Structure 1
Amino acid sequence: MEAHPRRLKTVFRSDVRLRIPLFQRPYVWDEDEQWAPLWEDVEATFDRRNEEDTSPHFLGAIVLEQKRGALGSLEVREVIDGQQRLTTLQVLIAAVRDTYAASDVKTRLSSRLGKTLVNDSDYVDSPEEEFKLWPTNHDRISYTDVMRGRYRDSNHDPALPRIATAYVFFREQIDALIAKCADQPAETVLDGLAEVMLEHLEVVVIDLGVDDNAQVIFETLNARGTPLRASDLIKNALFRTLQEKGRSVESLYQKHWEPLEKPHWQRDVRLGRLTRPRLDVYVGFFLTVFLQREVQSHQLFPLARTYFRTDPTRAENFLTQLDRYARIYDELEARTVGDAREQQILTRLEIVDTQTITPLLLWLFAHTTWHDRLLSLELLEGFLIRRAICRLTPKNYNRLFLELLRRLSGQDGPANTVIEEFLVQQHSESGLWPSDEDLIDSLRRLPLYRLLKRDRLQRLLLAFEQHLTTDRTEPMRASSKLSVEHLMPQSWTENWPLPTDPTAADTEEECRDALIHTIGNLTLVTSKLNSTLSNGSWASKRAHLLAHSALTLNRSLPPTWTTADIEARSKYLGNAAITMWPRPANTRLADRTINDLERELTPDRERALAATNDRATSPDRRRTSRRDIGQHIVNAFADLDDGDFLTINQIRNVPSPQYPINDLPSAGAINARLFPSSGRATTVPGVRATISDGRRGARRTAAEAFPPA
């Protein structure tokens, strides 16, 4: 048995039959779990293919068993493990090949790519030997149809076989990539993709001899124990290199690796949409710092192996630095690193909800002195929290902070000077440092209660509480168990009367709906006090707050609570935010008003769901898909109590996955669903249409009848 890393051009280059045994399951991979992540990896590799020292992207392992054949016949390997991966790669290559044909492009790379799908006709004795890969009986018809181009003009159709659906998916992604790279000829983009497929994708091929027991190996791989993690593979390669070169393996292990085998390093943690071992997550951050390059989850082992290979000095340096940064990472996560002010900044950075800054923090705590580091952290805090409040995109933070990391490593000056100079140069949508005016406007106007996840909003309000508390105030430790409360309740119609004049009432209602979820109308209270306050009048709520709350946020609330008071409090907190998170007085900073089109106005809790449902779906298909007004209504009542009432206009103004904040439904559509012309009762679950105080709307019914939003 032999195991070797192999580029795809090598796996599929020679004339060979990769035959999938009949007893293996049919093709089962799908878009969400496999095709989309694979395409994301391919596209990321496409973007970085011209970088120096680009290592191949690791796609996992396959196990092949040699089969005896007659002299002169095609070489045969039976696929013991990895048939789903190999089939998908062949389908992807076929999609690239057919896009070449559809674009009427023929190049040297297109010819090379085509040869990875079919064997040389001079060596083919029967039709089943035509293709490099030969699937099980169940998949042969759809597979051969894809390989022969019979789905070239097909569109997405649920009735298609799964292999054909995979082919259509990849064709759509390739077309989207060509459109995105409109400044380049299609030939250039396709040649880049072909280069990625041939040169930059790698698998480990475990080649069994004709006498090896394939069944035992297959059972071991698929049924016993847990799969090897990236950190396991790195450990094995590191210590094998050190041992072969005569280094003191036992002492190095005890000093540097044994601490990484403690239980807290082995637990699973969530990073984005994936759950991975904490040690593997840390290794990804470490490699970003150590190699100063973008690192994806599938690259951990190949990148580490590429660095130290068989060099024991490099291997020992890698191991030493891995241990060094691990100690810092532990303290960063526990918020025990640095002094009290640094720990406060690290806690406040949780408002931003991004881990892309972690490699930069590791570097700062490893390479800077206290004063320089504190100034650096204050700059990063101000930049990131201003952008979070203004809902500016975090999509390119990984590249932004990677470039900053490279500059810090390459310059000798104070880190805070390098950071400030770098950040003030950023004028793009992904790097703009919001002005004071934009910060105040965002706090005054944006419905942050709807947009921010509840824990992020709570941390933001806690930051305001800590800032507004003076040294004359009795010390009080703000509890993380405090909940967010609306001062003017979401269901205000019963105890907060409108003006008697109809025109003034309409104006006031519209103003309340616009301000109800802004920062000026929000505060923190204990859970028990929250349930007591409920939807009561302002006089009752204020009395309870003054009697039971010790927070500075609540002690200065005025006797009346109108929309003017909400706006005044938002401006007051906005001025506090300017002081808390200052922007450098640098003439190179861009002073321009942020356009709402630049903001992420889909609520946090719905963006993840939308990403899962719509990932890799073309914008045109999303625009034309039918949206559910009933689910939008359900979503509007998600945070309310039984019996709470919302008007038609209030229901309209609550963004949902169906109707985001910049594309809200019409009031007429909601009215038609709640009050159908047929006179029948509404069919929206958990909601009862009603008229309250002369206004049409709906009331939430019993909790047991209400489905999760």
Structure 2
Amino acid sequence: MVPLFQRPYVWDEDGQWAPLWEDVITTFDRREEREEDEIAPHFLGAIVLEQKRGALGSLEVREVIDGQQRLTTLQILIAALRDAYRALGVKTRLLSRLTKTLVNDADYVDSPDEEFKLWPTNRDRSAYTAVMRGDYRDSTQDPALPRIAAAYVFFREQIDAFLVRSDEDESETILDGLAEVLLEHLEVVVIDLGVDDNAQVIFETLNARGTALRASDLIKNALFRTLQDSGRPVDMLYEKYWEPLELPQWQTEVRLGRLRRPRLDIYVGFFLTVLLHREVQSHQLFTAARAYFGSDADRAEDFLTELARYARIYDQLDTGHIGTDAEQGCLTRLEIADTQTITPVLLWLFAHTDGADRQRALTLLEAYVVRRAICRLTSKNYNRLFLELLRRLSASEGPASGVIEQFLTSQDSESGLWPSDSDLRDALRSLPLYRLFKRDRLQRLLLAFEQHLTTDRTEPIPPSSKLSVEHLMPRSWHEHWALPADPAGAEDEEERRNTLLDTIGNLTLITGKLNSSLSNAAWSKKREHLLAHSALTLNRSLPTDWTTTWIERRSAMLAHAATSIWPRPAGHGDSPRRVTEAERDLMPDRGRGPDHPPQRDSTRTAAPSTRRDIGQHIVNAFADLEVGDFLTIGEIRKTPSPQYPVHDLPSAGAISARLFPGNGGRTTVPGVVGVIAGGRRGARKTG
């Protein structure tokens, strides 16, 4: 039996089916060249099985720990050969032996899942059963076939082709030869574990063979084996919490930065960041998860339920179907910043806040990151910045929007400064955003202006990915946009045009068809077409003459609008320090990934430690409580102790770091354990 929590069948033609068939044919040919007792078997690798306890007289059952892909493929190949015999109406002793490798003796079968020698994981059972019963005997290759059925059709076609190349009266001999190869000359090494052996350790050691397991596959296996070993109802837990994560939308490969990874693995990385309050690299996902729940069934079940809860939120965030219309607008405009590092904070907000508090929190985050994006301020430290914000949100008992406002407005470094209104206006008036922004980011920026300028008297126009960015004064303006006759004036005007050409004031949105028809046309024709065909507010008030002066005016108008769309909160240093030109990143977006890795400053030295015993402070917080009582990080922080009196309480981050140490470690505070209860991080007294 393949445990329900193992991944489904994933082998394919190029990677495994075709090489296996070639090995079978090679062995078949070698069999004809040598005496039977001289034939060297073909080795297929190792499989790991674990004995399961059963009632006296029942079928012996072994769980497949490693090797389910290989075992399943061999059963499919044998079924294909069995059906080739049946198609020719041939009955031999070898056909009977083949059939016995697929089905159990009916006298020992007590339930439907005992009918076949191999019983795959639940996602594959219907297709596997259909193959074993011959339902695909007349099928041909079709991309819509389940993977198991596609494997069967592949092997049937290979067998049929092999028979076609031989004389008709030799068909039975060839089928018997193939049967001998499958029954006698293919070998596997079987590691047969007892009921008390540690199957998970061996599974992890061997998982790198064959088709590499994803991090989420390894986590699933470790998670459910921990639950199974503790007697938890794994069928119910799997169906309720993990089965939704097996849907196709979670298995697709998506791009994150420069790499493509399974969407489920990307989500698991964000989830672990929320759970552990530390950044977890893609190669650390399994290690970090396993270190968190280990062999503790309670923590494993908590991990599973939280994973499923946050997955629903992530899926809604990712597809844009979450929250109110106003919140969806914030999330859409957040994409102007092109950063994924904010995702754990968004997950936390939609898991723990609602109403006006969440709306204001999202508005603050949007204003902060979009202002920095427009001003071309670096995002290289966002991973650490938003991780610290996440810690503060989790530890605070107050409104999330207040925590976000206080934290973000207090940032004063190059990697954290919230730009002022003046900085924002200067950037929009002077920076060549057309050259700096990717097209999709620039389109979202212009759509944000369009939505802001649209009044309640204007027909709503939904955002469209089909709109393209257009220069009002074309980049090739020389043919229809004459320069002044005066040489000095012409030189100045040409310089101004080249300077302003790619700024926001000279850009708009139009349909692709309108874009191609306008091309580099004169302004009179371009304006006529825009007024006739465009319904956007951005295009309805364009003047009869389009000059550099009008570009500057329009840039100023949009810059003023930007300060309203993305406001900086008042009362937190209304005049922050100005952005310096050296702090701007003027490298174009194209050709690089969105979230740049943080650069380490090798010249910075660590400050001397002034920490007191944070562990003893945590112990004191639980001193008068009963075993099993839970305190949030905020409650632990607010409990004064000899180490941290009421006027000098520790930081929530320090407490969190001690309860949830990095690199997968466990807390060393005696008598307590770091846990998540009701979605809040804290600790529970254990002794």
Q: What's the TM-score, normalizing by structure 2? A: 0.56
Once the two structures are TM-superposed, the CA of residue 428 in structure 1 deviates from its matched residue by: 0.4
Q: Which residue of 2 aligns with 1:296?
A: 281
Inter-CA distance 559–597: structure 2 relative to 1 (3 Å threshold)? same
Distance in 1 separating the partners of 2:340 and 2:311: 16
Q: Which residue of 2 aligns with 1:280?
A: 265
Q: Which residue of 1 aligns with 2:528?
A: 543
Secondary structure (helix, strand or coil) at the match of 1:604 reads: coil
Which residue, out of 218, 239, 243, partners 1:258?
243
Once the two structures are TM-superposed, the CA of residue 611 in structure 1 deviates from its matched residue by: 8.9
Which residue, out of 561, 564, 581, partners 1:579?
564
Q: Which residue of 2 aligns with 1:601?
A: 586
Which residue, out of 503, 509, 525, partners 2:494?
509
Q: Which residue of 2 aligns with 1:332?
A: 317
Does the CA-based 8 Å contact 2:339-2:595 persist in structure 1?
no
Distance in 1 separating the partners of 2:477 and 2:595: 30
Q: Which residue of 1 aligns with 2:540?
A: 555
Does the CA-based 8 Å contact 2:338-2:594 persist in structure 1?
no
Inter-CA distance 383–570: structure 2 relative to 1 (3 Å threshold)? same
Residue 519 (1) aligns with residue 509 (2): no
Inter-CA distance 307–223: structure 2 relative to 1 (3 Å threshold)? closer
Distance in 1 separating the partners of 2:574 and 2:391: 22
Q: Which residue of 1 aligns with 2:297?
A: 312
Q: Which residue of 2 aligns with 1:230?
A: 215
* Aligned residue type for 2:570: A
Distance in 1 separating the partners of 2:207 and 2:354: 49
* Aligned residue type for 1:586: G
* Aligned residue type for 1:537: A
Q: Deviations over 1:488-507 (max 9, x none)?
A: 00000111010111111111
Which residue, out of 438, 442, 458, partners 2:427?
442
Once the two structures are TM-superposed, the CA of residue 476 in structure 1 deviates from its matched residue by: 2.3
Q: Which residue of 2 aligns with 1:565?
A: 550
Distance in 2 separating the partners of 1:433 and 1:504: 40
Distance in 2 separating the partners of 1:425 and 1:446: 26
Inter-CA distance 284–536: structure 2 relative to 1 (3 Å threshold)? same
Q: Deviations over 1:192-220 (max 9, x none)?
A: xxxxxxxxxxxxxxxx99xxxxxxx9xx9
Does the CA-based 8 Å contact 1:542-1:557 persist in structure 2?
yes
Q: Which residue of 1 aligns with 2:195?
A: none
* Aligned residue type for 1:607: R
Does the CA-based 8 Å contact 1:432-1:590 persist in structure 2?
no
Q: Which residue of 2 aligns with 1:529?
A: 514
Which residue, out of 472, 478, 482, partners 2:463?
478
Does the CA-based 8 Å contact 1:427-1:590 persist in structure 2?
no
Inter-CA distance 607–222: structure 2 relative to 1 (3 Å threshold)? closer
Q: Deviations over 1:448-470 (max 9, x none)?
A: 00000000000100111111011
* Aligned residue type for 2:525: S
Once the two structures are TM-superposed, the CA of residue 593 in structure 1 deviates from its matched residue by: 2.3
Inter-CA distance 279–589: structure 2 relative to 1 (3 Å threshold)? farther
Q: What is the correspondence of 1:656-675 to structure 2 with a 5 Å cutoff?
A: none
Does the CA-based 8 Å contact 2:380-2:596 persist in structure 1?
no
Inter-CA distance 397–502: structure 2 relative to 1 (3 Å threshold)? same
Once the two structures are TM-superposed, the CA of residue 474 in structure 1 deviates from its matched residue by: 2.1
Q: Which residue of 1 aligns with 2:149?
A: none
Does the CA-based 8 Å contact 1:451-1:604 persist in structure 2?
yes
Structure 1 regions of 5+ residues with no counterpart? 1-62, 64-207, 210-216, 619-709
Distance in 2 separating the partners of 1:498 and 1:558: 19
Distance in 2 separating the partners of 1:503 and 1:592: 38
Cα RMSD, aligned residues only: 2.5
Residue 353 (1) aligns with residue 338 (2): yes
Q: Deviations over 1:298-336 (max 9, x none)?
A: 110111111111100000000000000000001101111
Q: Deviations over 1:543-595 (max 9, x none)?
A: 11111111100000011111110000000000111111110012436622212
Which residue, out of 212, 219, 226, partners 1:241?
226
Once the two structures are TM-superposed, the CA of residue 236 in structure 1 deviates from its matched residue by: 0.8
Distance in 2 separating the partners of 1:478 and 1:318: 38
Q: Which residue of 2 aligns with 1:683?
A: none
Residue 422 (1) aligns with residue 407 (2): yes
Secondary structure (helix, strand or coil) at the match of 1:582 reads: coil
The runs of at least 4 aligned residues of structure 1 exceeding 3 Å deviation read 220-224, 587-590, 606-612
Once the two structures are TM-superposed, the CA of residue 532 in structure 1 deviates from its matched residue by: 1.1
Does the CA-based 8 Å contact 1:424-1:586 persist in structure 2?
no
Distance in 2 separating the partners of 1:274 and 1:607: 11
Secondary structure (helix, strand or coil) at the match of 1:473 reads: coil
Q: What is the correspondence of 1:333-482 to structure 2 with a 5 Å cutoff?
A: 333-482=318-467
Distance in 1 separating the partners of 2:588 and 2:422: 23
Q: Which of the pair has more CA radius of gyration?
A: 2
* Aligned residue type for 1:602: M
Once the two structures are TM-superposed, the CA of residue 256 in structure 1 deviates from its matched residue by: 0.6
Q: Deviations over 1:321-360 (max 9, x none)?
A: 0000000001101111111000111111111111100000
How many pairs were matched up?
A: 401
Q: What's the TM-score, normalizing by structure 1? A: 0.55
Matched-pair identity in %:
67
Distance in 2 separating the partners of 1:434 and 1:401: 17
* Aligned residue type for 1:448: L
Does the CA-based 8 Å contact 1:424-1:589 persist in structure 2?
no
Q: Deviations over 1:398-420 (max 9, x none)?
A: 11011001001111010000100
Inter-CA distance 222–256: structure 2 relative to 1 (3 Å threshold)? closer
Q: Deviations over 1:50-89 (max 9, x none)?
A: xxxxxxxxxxxxx9xxxxxxxxxxxxxxxxxxxxxxxxxx
Once the two structures are TM-superposed, the CA of residue 245 in structure 1 deviates from its matched residue by: 1.1
